A and B are shown apart, each in its own frame.
Chain A
Amino acid sequence: GAGVSQSPSNKVTEKGKDVELRCDPISGHTALYWYRQSLGQGLEFLIYFQGNSAPDKSGLPSDRFSAERTGGSVSTLTIQRTQQEDSAVYLCASSRVAPPLSPLHFGNGTRLTVT
């Protein structure tokens, strides 16, 4: 079966432009996470969606960041007025039920470069 799909795989944008990153989770998975990973570092939690519950947005670094999940499936992470410090790999993961016992299945990420 298909895994978690993220697009684009690479995105280069100019400082100040807006970007949208897309995540297609595994079908039927109720939980969806977004993380950010700087080069060779650990994962920084951004936002968590679980079913129809209000998302946990506590990891979003500023109000330039927002995310939505439509119909309990596809999710979009939007970064407005991008800054150079936004450059990182953005990883999406889904799980069948709410973690922590249920493993996360990750996509290969979107590498964002802000010039």
Chain B
Amino acid sequence: TQLLEQSPQFLSIQEGENLTVYCNSSSVFSSLQWYRQEPGEGPVLLVTVVTGGEVKKLKRLTFQFGDARKDSSLHITAAQPGDTGLYLCAGAPLAAGNKLTFGGGTRVLVKP
């Protein structure tokens, strides 16, 4: 069982549709990060959420941190083919110091 569970594992949608990716845990995190990874490259940071209940917007991407700081979600509005990639959440549980753990990832495919 992974510390951070992401769902769904795979999502295929048409351009213009909306999608939501979830990142859940039974542990409490001081913060959670979201990364996007494209084939042949390392993950690139999208956002860090720090405060319980926080909502951050990055253009068409909306990130939310749960009130209890155990879960997070990523919502993409009007998805575009350029949004295709592997989305990863990451965090360090309060009891784990600086050991940054990643979820299993959600592979998103946006078809034109």
Check if A93 is an interface residue, CB within 8 A of chain B.
yes
Q: B34-53 vs A: 1/0 string, CB under 8 Å? A: 01000011111100101000
Query: How far, in Å, is A111 (CB) from chain B's closest CB?
Result: 9
Chain A residues within 8 Å of chain B by Cβ, number: 27
In angstroms, Cα B39 to Cα A108, docked, is 9
Contact of A101 among B40, B43, B50 (CB under 8 A): B50
Question: Across the interface, do B98 and A99 meet the contact criterion of CB distance under 8 Å?
Answer: yes
Query: How far, in Å, is A110 (CB) from chain B's closest CB?
Result: 11
Cβ of B41: which chain A residues have Cβ within 8 Å of it?
106, 108-109
Tell me the chain A residues, 4-31 only, with Cβ under 8 Å from chain B. Answer: 4, 31
Check if B72 is an interface residue, CB within 8 A of chain A.
no
Question: Across the interface, do A108 and B86 meet the contact criterion of CB distance under 8 Å?
Answer: no
Cβ of B40: which chain A residues have Cβ within 8 Å of it?
108
Query: What is the interface of chain A mostly: helix, strand, loop, or mixed?
Result: loop
Q: A26-68 vs B: 1/0 string, CB under 8 Å? A: 0000010101000011111100101000001011000000000
Question: Across the interface, do A100 and B88 meet the contact criterion of CB distance under 8 Å?
Answer: no
Contact of B99 among A42, A48, A106, A109 (CB under 8 A): A48
Question: Across the interface, do B31 and A101 meet the contact criterion of CB distance under 8 Å?
Answer: yes
What residues make up the interface of A, taking CB atoms closer than 8 Å to B?
4, 31, 33, 35, 40-45, 48, 50, 56, 58-59, 91, 93, 98-101, 103-104, 106-109
What residues make up the interface of B, taking CB atoms closer than 8 Å to A?
2, 6, 29-31, 33, 35, 40-45, 48, 50, 86, 88, 90-92, 97-105, 107
